[in-house]
Amino acid sequence: MPRIFIITIWAGLSLLSSCKTEAPLAILKKLDLRYQQEHGPLSSNGAFFDYLGREVRDTAQAHLLQSLYLAALLDGDEAFKAHLPLLSPQAIASLDYHLGPGNPYRPLYQEQLDWYYQNRQGRQAIDLTALDTAGHERQLSDFDDKVVYIDTWASWCAPCMEQLPYLQELARQYAGQKDFVILTLSFDQSPERWKKALSRHEQLPNIVPLYIKGGMQSDYAGQFLISSIPHYALLGKDRAIVAIDAPKPGSAEIRAMLEEQLVH
């Protein structure tokens, strides 16, 4: 099948408000029909999202269609009713991650995305399983008697490493709080790379390093709607979700939130 090239020229951000017109949406629906003719029933939202990237020759135009697709999913557009039952927090987080925070078409879905993140996060975090440095399985529920600040990172992530001194400073500041712990959850490609990176870090008693199998594709990433790292979350006792997208460790905001939780 020949690849589609959209002839319409979009003149930058000034036209963002008029991008949701019949022309691009009609092309999106046409590609949806063609995908199902070529591949049969849809297996995942990501499969069609990737298909758009392959079939549309111009990268900017592909991103426009992918952005419109994400907006349609968030809107519950009946034109894509075959796609809606496949939707999950993990799927949304994955599409958002691949489009990236710098996507020029982000305003097409930003408002709906913010609402989704705020209202679909749930009240209690899943009881995830991770590996400690000895290779033993640990559960999030092991820390149900504590307030938990979660730092999701990877050794290859430069912004993550930039935040490490602030994280260690936060740990020292609250070292006397027995009902507070920091979990650092690694998305490194292997436990070996994770442990090698840890060997260069100062080890503090109230920072518990853990490794997450599957990284961005893990159940944990889906539950916490992680689309990029570093990512921070704050849980109260019994895994009650306080903030699924918490402030950075060096901020005054996270300290105010911790003080509120630690007096309960």
Tell me which residue has tokens 């518990």: 208
Q: Residue 87: which pLDDT band, with cuts at 50, 70 and 90?
A: confident
pLDDT of residue 14: 35
pTM for this prediction:
0.59
- CATH code, residues 129-262: 3.40.30.10
* Cis peptide preceding 107, ω within 30 of 0: no
Which pLDDT tens digit goes with each residue over 101-122? 889 999 999 988 877 766 555 5
Q: Residue 244: which pLDDT band, with cuts at 50, 70 and 90?
A: confident
**Distance (Å, whole) CA 48 – CA 22:** 20
CB-CB contact of 78 with 197 (8 Å)? no
Q: Which of 8-12, 130-134, 150-154, 248-252 has the lowest mean pLDDT?
A: 8-12
**Distance (Å, whole) CA 20 – CA 27:** 11
Q: Residue 118 is encoded by which pair of tokens?
A: 């705020």
Q: Residue 120 is encoded by which pair of tokens?
A: 């679909």
Which pLDDT tens digit goes with each residue over 5-16? 443 333 333 333
**Distance (Å, whole) CA 107 – CA 90:** 21
Residue 59: pLDDT over 80: yes
212 dihedral zone (left: phi>0; alpha: psi -120 to 50; beta): beta
pLDDT of residue 122: 55
Mean pLDDT of 118-147: 85
Q: At 121, which amino acid appears?
A: Q
Q: Which of 22-26, 127-131, 178-182, 243-247 has the lowest mean pLDDT?
A: 22-26
Q: How many CB atoms lie within 10 A of CB 128?
A: 21
Q: What percentage of residues in the chain have a pLDDT greater than 70?
A: 89
Give the domain ranges of the chain: 12-119, 129-262
pLDDT of residue 102: 86
Residue 98: pLDDT over 70: yes
**Distance (Å, whole) CA 5 – CA 142:** 53
Tell me which residue has tokens 């033993």: 136
Q: In what order do the strands lie in the sheet with 129-131?
A: 137-139, 129-131, 207-211, 180-186, 147-153, 231-235, 241-243
**Distance (Å, whole) CA 72 – CA 65:** 10
Burial of residue 45 (CB within 10 Å: 0-12, 13-18, 19+) is buried
pLDDT of residue 6: 42
pLDDT of residue 148: 97
Residue 24: pLDDT over 70: yes
Residue 173: pLDDT over 60: yes
**Distance (Å, whole) CA 51 – CA 38:** 11
CB-CB contact of 55 with 3 (8 Å)? yes
- How far CA 100 is from CA of 66, 162, 250, in Å, comes to 12, 20, 24
Q: How many CB atoms lie within 10 A of CB 227?
A: 21
pLDDT of residue 97: 83
Handedness of CA 91, 74, 95, 158 (dihedral sign): negative
Q: What is the mean pLDDT of the chain?
A: 86
Nearest residue to 234 via CA among 213, 211, 259:
259
Phi and psi (nearest 5°) for 198?
-60, -35
